[in-house]
Amino acid sequence: MNKRKIAPVFAIGDHCNTKMVRSIKVGAFSDTACMASEFEEGHRQQYYEIAWLKSGSGNHIIDTINYSYSGSVLFMLSPGQMHEIKPVEKGEGYVIKFLSSLFSNSQDSEEYLVKTGLFDNIQSEPLIKLNASTHSLLEDLLKKMEAEFNAEEQDNEKILQAYLKILITHISRLKKITGKSEQAGVDLHFSLFHKYKMEVESNFRTQHQVQEYAAKLKTQARTLNSLSKKFMNKTAGEIIADRLILEAKRELYYNLKSIKEIGYGLGFEDPAYFTRFFKKQTGVSPQEFKLSQPTVGLRNTSVS
């Protein structure tokens, strides 16, 4: 098997030397718009991203899963994800990259980044297919966002934040994840469930037991299990396991470390236990998963 290079980690200002980029970057797929990184060898990122491929076809590999696309599609990405676009038929597109700090109000951040479910990199599919009417709407909105970004006028981030809220709201309309997710925004227990998921995101490398999270959130493990089943149809323990497996697959895919080192980094002191855990969750051992990449091990999701 050919050795892969270590995946670079891009910050929001990378590939954009001519502009002062703080919390948001908007542009078309072109070198002059600072977006060339999308087509480089697989990379990880420190920002949220909305990528609109208006036309063309190809493959977008996200966290080792291959999403085949054609026509007008959106991809929703969150910090830490690993991805690479491999076009077959070149097309046009726009990319918006932004940090959560763009939303200075914590309620806005929760409303647009959490409650919509659009940027959930474990439970939600990252691909959304667009119809003709939505295509026209996004074209108009993104042209305005690109013009505002390039104008570099005073308070332009405030205006771009307003445009971004409108964009996310339109995308949220398009993607009705499940009836339960739509209910979630008005459920009083939903905030506790999301606090649990956020704690898992921050501590999954060192805390693997539901009881540890329950103690931190001043609740009971059975309560977290009940909420997890209600909103995700999974147990609270399965949500922790999903996050561990996602990170393990990312690192195995790029040969960043040995299997033993990856296990240690994810909080498994016994390499044999890490191997058993991985195989129980995926059906293959870490070594088998690594050797199967990039052809056999990729799940292909076709959209046409």
Mean pLDDT of 276-295: 87
Between strands 93-98 and 65-70, the pairing is unpaired
CB 271 within 8 A of CB 263: yes
Q: Are 177 and 233 in contact (CB under 8 A)?
A: no
The domain locations on the chain are 9-177, 184-301
What confidence tens digit (pLDDT) does each residue in 13-61 have? 887 766 777 899 998 876 566 666 666 667 778 899 999 999 889 999 8
CB 145 within 8 A of CB 139: no
Give the residue, 125 or 41, on which the prediction is more confident. Answer: 125
**pLDDT tens digits, one per residue of 74-109:** 999 988 888 888 888 888 889 999 998 898 777 788
pLDDT digits (tens, 9 = 90+) for 244-279: 998 898 888 776 689 999 999 999 999 999 999 999
Alpha carbons 268 and 208: distance in angstroms, whole number: 9
pLDDT for the residue numbered 185: 46
Show contacts of 116-120: CB within 8 Å, 24+ apart. Answer: 116/168, 116/171, 116/172, 117/175, 117/177, 117/181, 117/184, 118/76, 118/168, 118/171, 118/172, 118/175, 119/48, 119/76, 119/77, 119/78, 120/78
Q: How confident is the model at residue 216 (pLDDT cuts 50, 70, 90)?
A: very high
What residues pair up with 73 in beta bridges, in sequence order?
Answer: 53, 129
Q: How many CA atoms lie within 13 A of 115 on its CB side?
A: 21
Q: Supply the angle between the helices 156-174 and 132-151 in degrees, to the nearest 10.
A: 170
Question: Which residue(s) pair with 62 in the sheet?
Answer: 65, 83
Does the predicted TM-score (pTM) go above 0.75? no
Architecture of domain 184-301: Orthogonal Bundle (1.10)
Question: What CATH number has the domain spanning 9-177?
Answer: 2.60.120.280
Q: In whole angstroms, what is the distance from residue 45 CA to residue 78 CA?
A: 8
- Considering only residues 278 and 3, tell me which one the structure prediction assigns the higher pLDDT: 278
Share above pLDDT 90 across residues of the chain, in percent, rounded to a whole number: 39
